[in-house]
Amino acid sequence: MKKLIVIVLVLIGFILVSGIRGNANTAIDVATNGGVPKDPAASLSQAELVEINQLWEGSAHALADVNCSSCHQDSETKELVVKPTQESCQSCHEVAVETFLFGKHGIRISEGLSPLTPAMAHLPMKESAMDKQMNCNSCHNVHSVDTWQASVDSCLTCHNDTHSLNYQNSKHGELFAEQGTLPRPNGESVTCATCHLPRQELENTENTIVVVNHNNTFTLKPRDRMVKEVCMNCHSVEYSYNSIFDDELVEENFARPPSLNLETFDLVRALEKKRSSQAEQ
């Protein structure tokens, strides 16, 4: 029985690697040459290949018939692509990649430079993540396509500033934690991604689709852009403005109601009261 299980696992790995190369007759030679792999993909063990296959089987990619060769095979040359870049993702996720390249995370790639690393950032970053290169794979486990992980955990893998670290103690973080483990954050979740990668509706000739804007700087400046794009989905305009312009509250990651009272809203109420009084006369 054990021998049968081993044979099955080896066959799964063989089929997976063969699929990656797109040619069953050119299976990757997993043998090494003096300890140096002949092929980069050969550095993966059978156990790792089995794990990758299991992650993929439960993913949205598998449900959509996106298999290994979809990402790991050049569509023109049919050559193996060991580490797919944003170009592979863009063939399906056009808006996501396009907006990613506009933000701080991706702007260096769009300029033809090396990817951004946390070591280049001005914000405090985790020492363990300093050499991490920012691309699609940095936040998304591309084999499991786990958007739950990408919505918070991936951010906290690198970010070490007060605002980011306080998320877990905020009301937003508590609501998210109460939901437990879901396939993906639902519409009531407020995660790092909810505010910094807002969902937006795009209309085309056939229907309206919801896309995630992956430009992580889109809602940062001007600051009140976040009010319209995000905060007012749940909060009133006054609560939103009093929160987003309270620097201490932002640092606390909105862990309490705002104490700021913008004079603008008092002026608006006074004007409305004056207009109502004049209308009654």
Between the two ends of the chain, the Cα-to-Cα distance in Å is 93
Is the CB of residue 42 less than 8 Å from the CB of residue 31?
Answer: yes
- Structure pTM? 0.77
Residues 6 or more apart in contact with residue 64 via CB below 8 angstroms = none
| CA pseudo-torsion sign 74, 210, 149, 115 | positive
pLDDT tens by residue, 37-96: 455 556 788 999 999 999 999 898 999 999 999 999 988 899 989 889 999 999 899 999
**Adjacent-strand bridge partners of 37:** 32
pLDDT for residue 244: 95
Averaged over 117-123, what is the pLDDT?
95
Average pLDDT value for residue range 249-268 = 93
Q: Which residues contact 212 (CB under 8 A, 6 or more apart)?
A: 96, 193, 197, 198, 199, 200
The SS3 call for residue 2 is helix
pLDDT > 90 fraction of the chain, expressed in percent and rounded: 59
Of 66-80, 123-137, 203-217, least confident by mean pLDDT is: 203-217
Helices first, then strands: H and E counts in the chain: 17, 4
Report the pLDDT value the prediction gives residue 149, as an integer from 0 to 100: 87
Give the residue, 172 or 21, on which the prediction is more confident. 172
pLDDT grade for 1, boundaries at 50, 70 and 90: low
